[in-house]
Structure 1
Amino acid sequence: MEKLQAAIDEARKRRSDGPSATGRSRSAPATLPVGWTELPEFRPQANRLSRSRIVANSNNSARVAVDMLRTRLLRLMQENNWKRVMITSPNPGCGKTTVAANLALAMQRQQERRALLMDLDFAGSSLARTLGLEPQHDVSDLLEGTVSPSEQMVRIGDNLAISANRASRHDKDEVLKTGQAADVLDTLEKELDLGIMIFDFPPFFANDSAIAGASFVDCAIIIGAAEQTSIHDIDMTERDLSQYTNIAGVVLNKCRYNSGAADSYNYPYR
């Protein structure tokens, strides 16, 4: 824990002396950082991913749409020197966690950068269930500095780290408003040499977490559900959230279209 606290203290100094968050440079790692090798390795089961509609590493035709989302997002983030993206939705049930997990696993197939996927939807946590994880500690424990990354996080391969919650908690949203959480995220970015950080946030209208978290992200993607999310709700979310961070795009999830023998799920991007 002393090592983590020392790294947090250094992150605080960088935050006060260094450039702003949007001035981060793109990393191009060649070897694994020490912090990365300390993370336990996790291998998700293909049948669990399939049940959770995670298609990023499958032969499903929907994988093409996921890859297009990944590539367009990466290009936009590189053009603007962004690293941190918030995934949110106007309301529950839009599939934002599914999109976030698909996006992260698509990133994992690109070996030139390391990525982090973190569950910050404390009241509606579903990332662990989606991937088949059984965390021993919550993300809030990591952000509060009471556990180390190796105690809370896992890695998939050599370039995707996952930070998921054990269960939903309705009393942890306030952690996102602390300087401690921001310092821990800065430390993780540096110690793990992260090229992109993906945060699964609560629905925008559920609480003020997305507004609070906008201070430590560079941009946001808004997820809407076809035949479920109204244009008004998407417009309201985009207009309100744009006051606090950049809007990278809007994804319409759960679009069913006929592709011969079976229906697929599309992730168009704007």
Structure 2
Amino acid sequence: MPDGRIITVFAAKDGSGKTTVATNLAVALCALGTRRVCLVDLDLQFGDVACLLGLRPARSLYDALPWAGSLTAEQAVGLMASFRPGLDCLLAPTGPGDAAQIPHTLVAELLQVLRGVYDYVVVDTPAQFNASVLAALDAADHQVLVATPERPSLKNLRMTLDVLDLLYDAGDRTVVVNRSDSRADLTAADVDHLVRAPITLQLPNWTDVPASINRGEPITVGYPDHPVSQAVRRLADALGASDGRCSRDPPSA
């Protein structure tokens, strides 16, 4: 059986809606059929996946520390919180100082183990180039970069692309402009000038998205026909269209 695909979601600026994109993308990938998906919250200091999905963390990435260097699939699955059938979540630690104790080598090991269990592993990262983020980018089969249609965010996106172009294949990348709004006073020409790279997907600006966040329910779950849900589903379809993956039965916890 082929290894699962790792999709790392990154934004160079906080407030870009990166976690919203990551959570809804994981839901959309799960909805493609019988595929199993894992969503990893790698924002170890201030992770919001549990909050966005209405989950209560019982275990987290921190609990993998005793197995560092010898982590098994069964141990990794035992750390998961289930959001819905076919979609498991590995949540960020919540204890003071826990994040600082997690080495990037454990992150790299964990992602390799998870790709052997799940068809897709979606990794939500913090807005910084630290060692754990670089481990997730190194492991990624595909990178999703998120920005908003304001000049500072687009400028940071361009700087991010300059860095990633030195390290990775630009063909394995999707650029998403979140909260796209025709009233933002930035023309398509302005965006092209600032980013100097193709924009793969624009997610419309809708007030329904913050409401779904406050309910702890991804908009792709609560409103599958919403314009934002449809846009995210197109991204999931593009990522999953040609892989031909079968479902996996992960080991029991």
Q: TM-score per shorter chain, which class? A: 0.5 to 0.7
Per-residue CA deviations over 1:216-266 (Å, capped at 9, x if unaligned) read 2222111101226433211110111233334411111122469xxx76675
Unaligned runs of 5+ in 2: 184-205, 210-227, 236-253
Q: What is the SS of the residue equivalent to 1:230?
A: helix
| Aligned position for 1:95 | 17
Is residue 196 from structure 1 mapped to residue 123 from structure 2 by the alignment? no
Give the conservation status (yes or no) of the 8 Å contact 2:76–2:110.
no
- What is the CA-CA distance between 1:170 and the residue it aligns to? 6.1
Structure of higher RCO (CA pairs closer than 8 Å, 6+ residues apart): 2
Corresponding residue for 2:175? Answer: 250
Give the fraction of aligned pairs with identical amino acids, expressed as a percent: 25
For 1:20, the equivalent position in structure 2 comes to none
Residues 125-168 of structure 1, C-alpha deviations (whole Å, 9 max, x = no match): 11111101111222132365279335421234432111112437
Contact 1:176 1:212 in 2 (8 A): no
- TM-score scaled by length of structure 1: 0.58
Provide the rounded CA distance (Å) in 2 between the counterparts of 1:165 and 1:158. Answer: 21
Task: Note the alpha carbon deviations across 1:20-69, whole angstroms, 9 max, x for none.
Answer: xxxx9366xxxxxxxxxxxxxxxxxxxxxxxxxxxxxxxxxxxxxxxxxx
User: Structure 1 residues 234, 139: closer, same or farther in 2, change over 3 A?
Assistant: same
What is the distance in 1 between the residues matched to 2:182 and 2:121?
Answer: 31
The 3 A distance-change label for structure 1 pair 230 and 162 is closer
1-structure distance, mates of 2:95, 2:14:
14
User: In structure 1, what is the Cα distance between the partners aligned to 2:9 and 2:66?
Assistant: 22
> In structure 2, what is the Cα distance between the partners aligned to 1:156 and 1:173?
27
User: How far apart are 1:186 and its partner, in Å?
Assistant: 2.4
Superposed displacement of residue 174, structure 1: 6.8
Change (3 A) 1:229 1:85: farther
Question: 2:124 is matched by which residue type in structure 1?
Answer: D
Q: Work out the CA distance in 1 between the residues paired with 2:56 and 2:126.
A: 21
Q: What secondary structure does 1:220 align onto?
A: strand
1:243 aligned counterpart, secondary structure = helix
Instruction: Write the distance in 2 (CA, Å) between the matches of 1:155 and 1:242.
Output: 35
Gaps of 5+ in 1: 1-23, 28-82
Instruction: Give the 3-state SS of the residue equivalent to 1:152 in structure 2.
Output: coil
How many residue pairs were aligned? Answer: 185
